[in-house]
Structure 1
Amino acid sequence: MSDAIESRLAELGITLPVAAAPAANYLPTRISGNMLYISGQLPLEDGKIAAIGLLGAEIDVAQGQRAAELCAINVIAQAKAALGGDLSRIRQFVKLTSFVASAPSFTEQHLVTNGASNLIANVFGDAGKHARSAVGVAGLPFSAAVEVEAIIEIEA
């Protein structure tokens, strides 16, 4: 399955980055039993935040969806690092939580989060279908527009 996942990433034109180091005092991933917890990932591209600002103010929904996609790519990169490079150990994505930096009147967090959800489902198929929450927040680290965390069931 790892080859299938890698092939699917290549078909989508996605090259996984090196998993980002934590920006503070926390672990980027944690395995407990058969669950892999991925700390919140920002929309990093080439080592820089690719989307800065509030949705509904400086950032529109399409830009927010692209930011959420980048977060999902970084979630996959963290998973790959935590699993010693073997993405075939992923049984299913259980839950994604998306935090969307939002102007006070912005209410389309769910549409922004589709960027991450769609990417995960496109890469992992049925194993990528997940429960999720899309939460509007006043601000995120480094003024990022979106942050996504994940809970993944793995083969222990």
Structure 2
Amino acid sequence: MCRMNPVTRTPGATGEYSIGKQIFRHHELAPPSGQFTSNYIRYTHNEFNATEYMIAWTTNRVASEGTKMGGNFYLSDFGLLIEASQNSLVVWKPSEYHGTTLTNINPMDTDPPGFNQSGCSIALSKRLAKSWEIYLQRVLTEEEVANAFENT
């Protein structure tokens, strides 16, 4: 399974990365996991990942009518609405019920006038962790693991 390193493509690969000024050398690199979204909306739900917390970063938001355009994040367990804005970050426990408000756009319009919201979310699915464990035991090949993710 490829690691988050454009140079090497070997399982268990180690490498160097930094967070701010802190440099980490010869550490095992993580397999990739995350989602990129555009005009994402989802009903109230909860989920169980391999991580205790999830991160959602709204990198871009253009809304001609501000928060009235919808697409806001909420935590229903707490009755908390987080108004969407460009370059905002939300961290929450995915096991708690959450979702987004509907957007005030035509869902069939792939390029709605006056609205665009995009971002990324970072979490590790239990499926990824389990597939990686099986792959390391050499039960599945890299191709079989990749196919399992493409077909879900």
**TM-score bucket (shorter structure):** under 0.3
TM-score normalised over the length of structure 1: 0.26
Q: Considering fraction of residues, name the structure with more helix.
A: 1
More strand by share: 2
More relative contact order, 1 or 2 (CA 8 Å, 6+ apart): 1
- TM-score normalised per structure 2: 0.27
